[in-house]
Chain A
Amino acid sequence: MASTQTHERSRLEDITTRLRLDIVRSTTEAGSGHPSSSLSMVELLTVLYFDGVLRHDPGRPDDPDRDRFILSKGHGAPGLYSVLAEAGYFPPEELLTLRKLGSPLEGHPNMNRLAGVEASTGSLGQGLSIGIGHALAARLDGRSYRVYVMTGDGEMEEGQVWEAVMFAGNHALDNLTLILDHNAYQQTGAVDDIEPLEPLEDKFRAFHWEARTIDGHDLDAVAEAYDWARRIEGKPQAIIARTVKGKGVSLLEKEPWKWHGKPLPKEEADKALAEIGGAA
C-alpha cells in the first residue's frame, strides 16, 4: 500500500519535471511566451490531468460528458500545451513549434485549432464566465461533467470575474471549481502592491462559494483539494493555491517581477533545464 503510494507519487513528480522542462524548452525555442506563469501551475495541472481528477479522453475530445478545464489565464498556454502533449492530445515534438507560423500552438490557446483546448483565451477575466456556460449546459442537458477554470491572481482584478463569481454562487453551481493560481505577481509587480486580494476566502464565501487555501506545489494537498471540491454540494468551490511564480527555476523565482512574459535566454535555459532535472 505504502509502496504503491510512493510509486504513484514519484510518477506524478516525474510528470511535473517533464512539464517544467517542456515549458522552458518550448518558450526558449519560441523566443517569447510566459514560462514563469506556466511554471506556477504545474502541480495543479499535474494532479488535475494525471491523477484521475479530470475525466477526459484525448481520443474523444468532443465527448459531451467530458470534464472541462478552461485556462482563463491564457498566457499560461505553454503550461497547458505541455500538459496536453503529456496527456496524448498531440505528439510532444510539436511543443517546439510553439508560436511559430502554421502551428496550432498559438501564443494563447485557440480552441478551434487544438483538441483539448476548451476556450480561446488571452484577454484576462473571461474564462470563469465561459465555465459557467458549460456548467449551466451540464444542468440543462442532465450531464454530470465538472468544469474547472484556472485564473491568475492579478486576473482577479477584472470586474467580469466578480460578475461570474456572483452568478455562480447565486446559481449554486457545484459542478464548477475555480483554481486560483495565487503566485503573488502580475505583469508589472506584486499583486499586493497593485490590488491586494485579501481577505480572499471571505470574499468567495460572501458570494456563496466554498473556499480553501492550499500550497499549490504540494501534490498531496492539491489532490486533497480536488477531492474536497468534488464532495461539496450546492456551492461552487474556489481552490486558492499559493504558488511561486517561475517555480523550479531559481532565476525566475528570485525576481518574478522582472520575468513576466519573458523566455529564458538560451544559456539560462540550459542552466534551468539542469536545475529542473537534467535531460529527461
Chain B
Amino acid sequence: MSFGITRIELQEGPATRNAFGDALAEAGGRDERIVVLDGDVHNSTMTGAFMERFPQRSYNVGIAESNLIGIASGLAACGRIPVAASFSTFLLANAFDQIRMSVAFPNLNVKLVGSHAGISIGEDGPSQMAVEDIALATSLPGFTVVVPADGPSAKAATQAMLERSGPFFLRCGRPKVPVVYGNGAEFHLGKATQLRDGDDVTVIANGIMVAMALDAAEGLAEHGISTRVLDMHTVKPLDTAAVERAANETRGIVVAEEHLCWGGLGAAVSMVVAERHPTRMAFVNLGDTYATSGKPDELLAQFGLTPDAIIDAARRVLKD
C-alpha cells in the first residue's frame, strides 16, 4: 500500500506487529521472566514466534481477554514479565475494567500489546479496528503508551518496553509500513524523534501518520513552507519539552494520528500547548466516526488520513 505517499521515496519495511513479534522472540532468549499470553490470535499479533521458541512460557488463554488480563496481573505480582497480546480493541476495549483494576490500579508490570490498530487494517472493518485504544490506555495512571511508526522503531520500542518496569501499552498495526528510521534516527522512549527540522510549522505524528507527515513536509517545501516533523511515538508520558519548543519555534502545530479525535495524541498535545504556549493548531485524525470496510489505502483516503490532509491542515494553521 502507498499511504498516499507520492513525493518521497521510503523503503517498505515490516509491519510494526511483525517487528514487535521478532523483537519479543529475541528478548525471550535473553530474559527468562518473559511470559506470553495470547487470546487465540498469535498469528495476528505475531507473538507466535516467541510461543514456538518458548512453549513452556506461553499460554494461549483462548478467546477470553478478561481472564487473560487477570492471569497477567497474577504473573506480574510474582515477578514475571507478562506480555499480553491481542487485537488492540479486544484488549483495551473488551478488558478495560480488568486492565484498570488488575493492572493499572495495582501498578503491575504487565505489557499490553495491541495489534490491528486503526483503520489501516482494511477489509475486516470497524469491529476489528482499534480507534479508541489510545484514549483508553492514556487514561490509566502509570501507563506508558507507545505508538511506533515503523519496523525499526517498533523493535526498539519492544526492547524498551521489556526493560522498563511498569504497565505499558504498545500499539501495533497490521500493514507493512515504510521505514522512517532508516537514516540512523534513534528511538528513545519518552522523547520525540525529530525526523525533519523546519521553522514555519510543526507536524506532530505517530504510527502510520509519521511517514505521511514526511511526505507532506516535502509537499509543503515545494510551496516554500518549512516543516518540522516530530515522531511522537510515546503518547504517555508525553515529551512536553518538544511540544513546547515546537509551539515556540514554529508558527503552529498539526497533530496527525490514526485515532478518533477524542482522547488521542491531539488531545494530549493540546493540553501542553494550551498551558505552556498557546498557538494555532489543526488536527488530522478520524474525527468522531467509525470507518467501514475497504482497501486500506481507500479507507485512509476516504477518512482523511493522507499527506494531502496534513498539507491542508498546515495551511489552515499558517493562514493569517
Partner-B contacts on A (CB < 8 A): 64, 110-112, 118-123, 125-138, 140-141, 159-160, 163-164, 166-167
Contacts and interface: CB of A to CB of B under 8 A. Distances in A.
Nearest to B72: A133
Contacts of B62: 163, 166-167
A129 B66 contact: yes
Given A122-B101, A126-B98, A133 B71 contact: yes
A64 B102 contact: no
Interface stretch (B74-82, B119-127, B221-229, B241-249): B74-82
A111 B106 contact: yes
Given A120-B101, A140-B35, A140-B80, A133 B106 contact: no
B97 interface: yes
Interface in B78-94: 78-80, 82
Given A133-B70, A136-B59, 13 more contacts: A64-B79, A111-B77, A111-B106, A123-B97, A129-B70, A129-B71, A131-B74, A133-B72, A133-B77, A137-B79, A140-B35, A167-B67, A167-B71
Contacts of A127: 70
Nearest to B104: A120
Interface in B132-162: none
Contacts of A141: 78
B74 A132 contact: yes
Contacts of B105: 110, 120
B106 A129 contact: no
B69 interface: yes
B66 A137 contact: no
Given A64-B78, A111-B106, A133 B73 contact: yes
Contacts of A133: 70-78, 82
B74 A167 contact: no
Nearest to A149: B74
A164 B101 contact: no
A166 B64 CA distance: 10
A133 B71 CA distance: 4
Given A112-B106, A119-B106, A126-B98, A164 B67 contact: yes
Given A123-B97, A126-B98, A134 B77 contact: yes
13 contacts: A123-B100, A123-B101, A133-B70, A133-B71, A133-B74, A136-B35, A137-B79, A160-B64, A160-B66, A164-B70, A167-B61, A167-B67, A167-B71
Q: Lowest 4 A-B CB distances belong to which pairs?
A: A133-B74, A129-B70, A137-B78, A163-B67
Given A129-B69, A167-B61, A136 B98 contact: no
A6 B320 CA distance: 91
B280 interface: no
B64 A130 contact: no
A130 B70 contact: yes
Contacts of B66: 125-126, 129, 159-160, 163
Given A121-B101, A125-B66, A130 B57 contact: no
Contacts of B98: 126, 129, 160
B57 to A, nearest CB: 7
B67 A160 contact: yes
Of the candidates A121, A131, A135, A160, the one having the most CB atoms from chain B within 10 angstroms of its own CB is A160
B139 to A, nearest CB: 16
Given A123-B101, A126-B98, A126-B102, A136 B74 contact: yes
A141 B78 CA distance: 9
Contact of B80 (A111, A132, A137): A137
Given A132-B70, A167-B61, A126 B80 contact: no
